[in-house]
Amino acid sequence: IATKDDKINKSSQFKKQQTNPKFQKKVKATFVTLARNNDLWELLESIQSLEDRFNHKFGYDWVFLNDEPFSEEFIYETTKSISGETKYGVIPFDYWSTPIWIDTDKAEAARQDMKERNIIYGDSLSYRYMCRFESGFFFRHPYLDDYDYYWRVEPSVKFYCDIDYDIFQFMQDNDMEYGFTIALHEYIETIPTLWDTTKEFISKNPKVLAKDNSLDLISDDNGETYNLCHFWSNFEIGKLEFLRSKTYRSYFDYLDKSGGFFYERWGDAPIHTIAAALFLDKEKIHFFDDIGYYHGPFTSCPIKEEIRTKGRCSCNPRDDITFDSYSCMEKYYEFRGLEKPAELEKYQ
């Protein structure tokens, strides 16, 4: 029986080194943003928020990737807002196109069908390129070669609390490989065969499963079906070694060959999540309960008084999605044996 003491605030056991704001002794880490030129103004809001709340103290680099060349204006406006070095990369054709083994008529019929069924982004080819790129390729871009960790950032996101410790140092010191703030349930219509395809891959490569994996987080019936729980990947802090690993790459290749990015509309979030849950030991995955974050339409707002005060959080704790039914954090807390914040009652 777990006692209250067993469940002491697990986050307090982690090392959080305060770094002297001289930008030295940094971890090899970068922000990474996939964007179009016309995302510029929405993106500047994300940059301003993240620089003000975190990066002005640390000066981490920022890599921008695009399927076409970035405009002068995009480069000028973003460079001047970022404390670290900025890099602007174009995505190679193979990483952003329909592979030759895809039956394009079948793919088009699938888009038409999903359009009629009003499935979000169901009719979009570029959204599929985006999901495929984020699943299997962003980490292979040569600009990422210089780094060990990445933090994904999208346009129009907000950071609500000061982050006064070096997050990348935290990832490194605690040997973490994947960090998230929001976990949701995926729309089944977008991934009808993803789990069966995953099971095929696992049965052909049984050794890829981590000993202390998180299968019970993502399946309620011991692997028979996927419960759709996924870390929302518009925010992601990860170790690149994980995505570069032979295991992850062969999983991605297997999924890619099956055609589900095109015949269905597989998202990078369930794919990263399933991979992290199955191929990593559970301790390598970290829930950042101290990062106030917004990406429409959901907010993760710290409700612990201590975090709110220390971080000067500007979000309303009543907007926090963590323990709502859309979220699958209830399951995560149970799976990891975490104690829910005492403040929860006050704000529910």
Q: Judged by CB under 6 A, does residue 182 bind ligand GDP?
A: no
Q: Judged by CB under 6 A, does residue 35 bind ligand GDP?
A: yes
Which among 201, 204, 203, 177 has a CA at the least distance from the CA of 273?
A: 177
Judged by beta carbon, residue 19 or residue 30, the one nearer ligand GDP is: 30
Provide the 8-state DSSP code for 327: B
Token couple for 83? 């404390």
**How would you list the strands of the sheet with 285-287, edge to edge?**
86-90, 61-66, 29-34, 149-152, 236-239, 178-180, 285-287
Q: Which of 51, 154, 177, 236 is catalytic?
A: 236
Residue 342's CB is within 10 A of a number of other CB atoms, namely: 10
- From the list 172, 234, 258, 327, which residue makes contact with ligand GDP (rule: CB under 6 A)? 234
Residue 236 is among the residues annotated as catalytic for this protein? yes
Angle at 170 between CA 164 and CA 171, to 5 degrees: 135
Closest approach, Cβ 66 to ligand GDP, in A, equals: 4
Task: Please choose which of ligand GDP, Mn ion, none residue 290 contacts, taking the beta carbon within 5 to 8 angstroms, the exact cut-off set by kind.
Answer: none
Residue 190's CB is within 10 A of a number of other CB atoms, namely: 20
Q: Judged by CB under 6 A, does residue 67 bind ligand GDP?
A: yes
Give the interface segment with Mn ion, choosing from 60-68, 107-115, 227-235, 266-274 (CB under 5 A). Answer: 227-235
Q: Judged by CB under 5 A, does residue 154 bind Mn ion?
A: yes
Closest approach, Cβ 15 to ligand GDP, in A, equals: 31
Q: Judged by CB under 6 A, does residue 39 bind ligand GDP?
A: yes
Judged by beta carbon, residue 154 or residue 177, the one nearer ligand GDP is: 154
Q: Judged by CB under 6 A, does residue 190 bind ligand GDP?
A: no
Give the CA distances from residue 150 to residues 35, 216, 236, 267, in Å, rounded to whole numbers and listed in that order.
16, 27, 8, 19
Task: Please choose which of ligand GDP, Mn ion, none residue 299 contacts, taking the beta carbon within 5 to 8 angstroms, the exact cut-off set by kind.
Answer: none
* Distance of alpha carbon 79 from alpha carbon 220, whole angstroms: 46
Give the interface segment with ligand GDP, choosing from 34-42, 48-56, 80-88, 139-147 (CB under 6 A). Answer: 34-42
Closest approach, Cβ 345 to ligand GDP, in A, equals: 32
Return the SS3 of 320.
strand
Task: Please choose which of ligand GDP, Mn ion, none residue 130 contacts, taking the beta carbon within 5 to 8 angstroms, the exact cut-off set by kind.
Answer: ligand GDP
Q: Judged by CB under 6 A, does residue 89 bind ligand GDP?
A: no
Token couple for 159? 């950071």
Closest approach, Cβ 296 to Mn ion, in A, equals: 7
Return the SS3 of 202.
helix
- The answer for residues whose C-beta is within 8 angstroms of residue 85's C-beta and 6 or more apart is 61, 62
Pair 84, 47: CB distance under 8 Å = no
- Sign of the C-alpha dihedral computed for residues 281, 284, 289 and 295 taken in this order: negative
Give the interface segment with ligand GDP, choosing from 27-35, 192-200, 207-215, 300-308 (CB under 6 A). Answer: 27-35
Closest approach, Cβ 33 to ligand GDP, in A, equals: 6
Give the number of residues in contact with Mn ion, rule: CB under 5 A: 2
Produce one character per residue of 251-290: b if its CB has 16 or more CB atoms within 10 Å, e if not. bbebbbebbbbbbbbbbbbbbbbbbbbbbbebebbbbbbb
Closest approach, Cβ 327 to ligand GDP, in A, equals: 17
Closest approach, Cβ 234 to ligand GDP, in A, equals: 5
Q: Judged by CB under 6 A, does residue 34 bind ligand GDP?
A: yes
Judged by beta carbon, residue 234 or residue 273, the one nearer ligand GDP is: 234
* Distance of alpha carbon 340 from alpha carbon 323, whole angstroms: 9
Task: Please choose which of Mn ion, ligand GDP, none residue 256 contacts, taking the beta carbon within 5 to 8 angstroms, the exact cut-off set by kind.
Answer: none
Q: Which residues bind Mn ion (CB under 5 A)?
A: 154, 234
Catalytic residues: 236
Residues forming the site for ligand GDP (CB under 6 A): 33-36, 39, 66-67, 126, 130, 154-155, 234
